[in-house]
Structures are given as structure tokens and as C-alpha cells.
Chain A
Amino acid sequence: MTAELIIFVLLAVIAVAAALGMLLSSNAIYSALFLVVNFGVVATFYLLLGAPFIAMVQVTVYAGAIMVLFLFVIMLLGAERLRHPNQVLSWQQPLAVVLVMALLGFAGYVVSMQGLASPPVDVANTVSYGSPAAIGELLFREYLFPFEATSLLLLSAMVGVVVLTAVDARRGVSRGVSRDRRS
């Protein structure tokens, strides 16, 4: 128990430090990398909770696919630095302070009402709960409709992107054809 607690505290410090680094670094590449570290630590938390499937998916999807695409876009656009770091978004600073105060207030209220004690975790139950078979069972039996609806939504978004970019390509081709006819 104590070993687990020590590991948790160490990881928590790393997670918070990485999150702060992500927010405070002025270079977007470093921000993205801090976020990757944060995702990695969260994956380790899932491992500690006995959910290796979720942990691996967390690394594969968030750290491995989404953040690589983020890096790709940042590098492609050469947008790693803000041009005027102090002028842009200056109006957001007072707003952020107000919102953080509100969040802390609500969180404090909830904690003071309920206390920090969480119901004891049934470890034997979590192991079967986090297994690939159990998650597949849940996704394809109990939550089949939401799952399929989400994938349909994602598919339509993808088709939408393809259509939007294909219109430009067709115009380009037709312009090219008319130019050819004139010549």
C-alpha cells in the first residue's frame, strides 16, 4: 500500500509539472511534448488501477497518433513561437483568474460537502472490468448504438473533409482544362 502511495505521489508530481510546463512554455513544440509526458503519466495511472487495456489505448491513441498529428501541423506551419507573446490574448488573463477562482470555489464546496473519501475499490472486479474482453463486450453489446453512431459521425466528418478539399481540386482541374482550350 505504501509503495503504491509513493508511486502515485511521484507520478502525480510529474503529471502536474508536465501540465504546468505545457501551459507555461512559450514554444509550441515543447508544449506538445509536455502534453505527451502528461498522457504517459495518465496511462501509468490506468496501469496502477488495473486497466492495462485502457493504458495501452491511451498511449497509442493520444500520445502516438493525436499528438504526432499536432506536432506535424506545428512543424508544417512553422508556428512554434507566438509573434507577440505579451500582446496576443492579453484580455484572457483577468478572465482566466476569475474562472480559476470560480472553479476552485466550486471544487472546494463539493469537497467540503462530501469529503475526499472515495468508496473502496473492488480490485477483483476492476481486473475483469478493464480486460479487453470486458470492454469489447460493453462496447458491442450494451453500448452498440452509441458506438456505431459515433463511428458514423466520425466517418461523415471525414467524408466532409474529403469533399471540401476535392472541390478545390476539381476547380483547379477545370481551370486547367479551359486554359488548355484557349491555347
Chain B
Amino acid sequence: MSPVIGIVIEAIIKSALMVFVLATAFAYLTLAERKIAAFVQVRKGPNRVGPWGLMQPAADGIKLLFKEEMVPAGADKVLFFLAPILTMIPAMVIMAVVPIGPDVELFGRSIRLGISDLNVGMLYILSVASVAVYGIVLAGWSSANKYSLLGGLRASAQMISYEIALGLSIIGPIILAGTMSLQGIITAQQQSTWYVLWQPVGALVFFLAGLAEVNRAPFDMPEAEQELTAGYFTEYSGMKFSLFFMGEYIKMVAVCAIATTLFLGGYLGPYVEQLPWLGILYFTIKTTALLFLMIWIRLTLPRLRYDQLMAFGWKVLLPLALANVVVTATATVLLG
């Protein structure tokens, strides 16, 4: 077997595993969100399907599978069909460059826990994030519904605005590590310490801009239920709706995983050099903690108004991220 075929087979297996893990993460993240919401609001939450409601995601999945698919009369059929897929794919492929553990020995060969390690990994993340808006915008336009169109317009304005702060906030770790590869950033954190200690402002800006990028509360203007009914996916039902649902939750996982890698040391933790498989556990714990934070924020804060959202993005986050870049660069040059 030639080495090229081996690499291709390894990549296919890892990608399939990643898709499976992300789909499962989506299913149980929805349950976790409902359970945490219930806990915060002193309710019980879903508890009928299986022990502690653990089979609830399966029941929801079967229900969505058998729902009728509606297509509005004036809709653009092609784009209406394409939009959920275009939302789903970037959410999945963005995880390709995130290392979830150190290299491990398996079947006599060294295997990287992570699909790929690009030398422009951070730019890859930014470019995938920047095309992720298409699915939402096209869903809004193709539905032939004013609420949907408004949701799509809001989404494009919001995601472009917050992408700038997001892009500037990751420059800090890149300067400190001297590389754009995510593996390289983790290795650099192994030598110093978690970058959240060196880059508290960068980490904060990244997390807030990430919340806005995935349209989570308090930045869920594009789907604001009370004013836009459901924004860009008002007209969607059945499996197409669940693709949007899935896309949003997988994007949450991706943002938390990337934040873990950049600022919380990724898979690093005690004894990870001796037992490389522990890396996956540490990575999962850190990512889950950030996901809990996201859900907690949603349950605590009310939605921002549109002008507040824009003012916050352009007048607070952007100058903050820019100042962070200047200070980090100056300090790096002065202190060596």
C-alpha cells in the first residue's frame, strides 16, 4: 500500500469520526441546554424519554425526520434547498484544523489526533467562518418572506461586523506563538502557559465575537423570535429546519473548541506527555466548560437591540481588539 493511499484512508476515517462526534455532540448539546435551562429556572426539564431524559435527542430526531417538508409558494426552490446545506458544511469543516489531542501510536504508526495541521490554520478558520454567512443570507432571501429577509440582512451585517473583531482577537496568540498553525500555538502554550493569562482581553473579545458569529443570545438578532418570528429559518420545517438547528449547535462547539485551543492550552493538562489519550479528555472538559458558559449567558442576558449590537461591535469590541494587537505587538518587540 503506497503511503499516499494510507494518508487518504486515515484522513477519511478521521473525518467520518469527526462528523459522527459532532453530530452526537449536537444531539446531546440540545438536551444539555434544555436541562441547564430547566435547572436555572427551577424546573425538571425533559425527563420522560429514557433515564433523566437521555433518549430525548433520539425522539426529537425521529420526530423531525417524519415532519412534512414545506416549500413556500414564492420561494426560490434551488436556493431554498441549498441554504441549509451551506449552513451545515462550514460548521463541520471548520473543525478540520483543530487538534483534539497529541500524536498517538496506533497500529504501529503515529497518528495525529486532529484531521489536519495547516501552516495557515488560523486563516483557514477565518475564511471558513467568513463564508458561513451565505447559508443564512440565502435562506432569508429564498424564503420569499419579509421576516426571513430581514433576518438574513441582519445576519450578514452582524457577521461581517463581528468578523473583524474576531480576526483581530486571534492575532494576539499568533504573535505570541509566532505561527498560524493550531498545533504550533498549543506547543507554544506548553512552553509558556495558557494564553488566557497573557491575552485576557483577546480571549474575551474572541469569545464575545464568537457568540455573535454563531448568532447566540444575546446576539441572536437574525432569529429574534419575538420580532422576526424566527428570522431566516421561519419558513423551514422538517429535516431542513433540523439542518439549521444542527449547524448552529455545531458552530457553538467549533467556537468553543477553537477558543480552547487558542487560549486554554487545547489538549494540554497534567500527565498528557505520558498518556497522550488523556489529551482528548482535557480537550473535551475545557470545551464543555465553555459551552456551559455560552448556555449560561443565553439564560441570563436579554437580547441586544440592533443599534446596541452594532455600537457594541464597532465602538467597543473593535477598538479593544485593535488596542490588544498594538499592545501585544509592542510588548513582544520590547521584551523579546
Contact = CB atoms under 8 A, between A and B. Distances in A.
Interface in A39-86: 52-53, 56-57, 59-60, 63-65, 68-69, 71-72, 75-76
B44 to A, nearest CB: 43
Contact of B127 (A36, A60, A68, A131): A60
List of 3 A-B pairs having minimum Cβ-Cβ separation, nearest first: A64-B130, A56-B123, A59-B127
A67 to B, nearest CB: 8
B123 A71 contact: no
Contacts, number: 72
Interface string A111-145: 00000000000000000000110000000000000
Contact of A75 (B119, B127, B153, B160): B153
Nearest to B130: A64
Contact of A71 (B119, B129, B137): B137
A29 interface: yes
A36 B130 contact: no
Contact of B134 (A57, A68, A75): A68
Interface of B: 76, 79, 118-120, 123-124, 126-127, 129-131, 133-134, 137-138, 140-141, 149, 152-153, 156-157, 159-160, 163, 180
A64 B126 CA distance: 9
B326 to A, nearest CB: 15
Given A71-B137, A75-B153, A65 B123 contact: no
A52 B160 contact: no
A75 B152 contact: yes
A72 B153 contact: yes
Contact of B156 (A29, A56, A57, A68): A68
A53 B123 contact: yes
Interface of A: 29, 33, 36, 52-53, 56-57, 59-60, 63-65, 68-69, 71-72, 75-76, 131-132
27 contacts: A29-B138, A33-B79, A33-B134, A33-B138, A52-B119, A53-B123, A56-B120, A56-B126, A57-B123, A57-B127, A59-B130, A60-B123, A60-B130, A63-B127, A63-B130, A64-B126, A64-B129, A68-B134, A68-B159, A68-B160, A69-B156, A69-B160, A71-B134, A71-B156, A72-B153, A72-B160, A132-B123
A72 B137 contact: yes
Nearest to B118: A52
Which label, helix, strand, loop or mixed, suits the secondary structure of the A interface? helix
B19 to A, nearest CB: 21
Given A68-B130, A132-B180, 12 more contacts: A33-B134, A53-B120, A56-B123, A59-B127, A64-B127, A64-B133, A64-B163, A68-B133, A68-B160, A71-B134, A72-B156, A131-B119
B242 to A, nearest CB: 24
Give the most central of B120, B138, B140: most A CB within 10 Å: B120
B120 A52 contact: yes
A57 to B, nearest CB: 7
B74 to A, nearest CB: 13
Contact of A36 (B129, B134, B152, B157): B134
B309 to A, nearest CB: 16
Nearest to B159: A68
Contacts of B160: 65, 68-69, 72
A29 B131 contact: no
Contacts of B133: 64, 68
A76 B131 CA distance: 19
Give the most central of A36, A56, A63: most B CB within 10 Å: A56
A69 B159 CA distance: 11
A159 to B, nearest CB: 15
A72 B79 contact: no
Contacts of A60: 123, 126-127, 130
Nearest to B120: A52
B173 to A, nearest CB: 14
Contacts of B141: 29, 71, 75
A57 B167 CA distance: 12
Nearest to B164: A65
A76 B140 CA distance: 12
B332 to A, nearest CB: 14
A155 B153 CA distance: 25
Contacts of A56: 120, 123-124, 126-127
Contact of B131 (A59, A72, A131): A59
